[in-house]
Structure 1
Amino acid sequence: MAYRNAPLTLSEYEDLLRLGRDYRLDALRIHRGDWYLDVSFGPGPAISASAGDSLRTEGPEPPAPGQATPADTVTHSIVAPVSGIVHLTAAPGEPALVAAGEKITAGTTVAVIEAMKMMTNIDSECDGMIVEVLVAAGDMVAAGQPLVLIREAEA
């Protein structure tokens, strides 16, 4: 996310919520100048923003406490093991390695990270379906940054 002294875009809000869920955070605070955002990932609506912003949520009710959700059961992220530039194709001009909705098997390469002229294949450790590719080709990524969301195939 690029720094700016302004509210986040809807896409950036969604990314923060997804990452909070994936890493099972209790809460987080983003502070930029006179603007801040507090997000609680516990039960109940505990989202607040300042500087005249409003964040409205729509959609189905959150699951009841103790009720399983996809994040609790089979959805997880594949993360970058090293920092570098992410490539989503095997070579320039080739099709994407994976796309949202695609079924993959363990060992499938989902991305390649280039660091100091060394290429590191990022492979899935399980069978499943790609839920979302979280990075764009050419993005600089940090070690531990989520690259792809995957829903594991049920055993």
Structure 2
Amino acid sequence: MNDFYKLSATSLQGQPIEFNNFEGKVVLVVNTASQCGFTPQYAGLQTLHEKYHQQGLVIIGFPCNQFGKQEPGDATQIKQGCLINYGVDFQIMSKVDVNGKHAHPVFRHLKSVLPGFLTRKIKWNFTKFLIGKDGNAIKRFAPFTKPQQIESTIVKALQNKS
């Protein structure tokens, strides 16, 4: 079994989510924040979710407060912000750290297989990691890369037969 599928996380509603449930799917993992200059990317992520969910795309948002304290809210506030402001209905997890000694295992794994430019650290909110149907990491996208700019890479991954 691929290491990605051995991971798990807790949903914003407090439910455990086992990543082996995503075998055979294309997964986009994003560290998010509700008070960030990139927060409007929620709308683009939701568009991708609506367009490709039925074809096997899973988008997972991980709220993070490590960059400029841009995700200060609790689970209820995060849920309301995502839902009310952007109509998000893709999977949002509980708030995590993505860097440092308390970094969530999902991000420790993703940073090890897709290190960033010059450093493995995640530099800001809305860093995106695309994982193929086989659980292998395909590409890491910078925070300023808008969801619509990665659509062709997602489509290619969805068309892959693995």
TM-score bracket for the superposition, by shorter chain length? under 0.3
Question: TM-score with structure 2 length normalisation?
Answer: 0.24
Structure with bigger RCO (C-alpha 8 Å, 6+ apart): 2
Write 1 or 2 for the structure with the bigger share of strand. 1
